[in-house]
Amino acid sequence: MTDDRQNILQQFLDAIRQVRGLANGCEFSIPQGSNGKMIDFTKVNLLHTPPGAGEAILYYVNGPADCRPDDGGWYYRRDAQGNPIAVQTCPATCRALVAGGGTVVFALGCFSVPPP
């Protein structure tokens, strides 16, 4: 394989890895309630703990149009009927999660926290 073709192939593979990484850090399954009960979608929070730092809340926004370029946040991805089907992070949050790593956990039972 020529060097040009090898470089193009490597660039393509790098782009695919980046897309895969973004997808893996940006959408989460909706957690199950205790004893299989449906959760209260108004009482869900996401907490992020970056490596070597303290836990921080990820703010809930109503949808992609409400995502802030600085704070980011999360919202429910919905089906055609408007029912939540996944938790989606805003682009700024997604980039931070993919780049910085750490853990994300759900906290159920307290009202979802909007941005200040």
Instruction: Measure Cα distances from 102 to 3, 25, 57 in Å.
Output: 37, 10, 13
The pTM score is 0.75
Confidence band of 34 (pLDDT split at 50, 70, 90): confident
Using DSSP's 3-state secondary structure scheme, residue 29 falls into coil
pLDDT tops 90 at residue 73: yes
Residue 100: which pLDDT band, with cuts at 50, 70 and 90?
A: confident
Alpha-carbon distance values, 111 to 60, 63, 87 (Å): 10, 17, 16
Strand, helix or coil for residue 83: coil
If we measure between CA atoms, which residue out of 79, 84, 81 comes closest to residue 62?
A: 84
Mean pLDDT of the chain: 83
Mean pLDDT of 86-104: 90
Cα(82)–Cα(58) distance, integer angstroms: 22
Q: What is the pLDDT of residue 101?
A: 84
Structure tokens belonging to residue 93: 């949050």
Beta strands in the chain (DSSP E): 27-28, 44-49, 56-58, 74-78, 84-89, 103-108
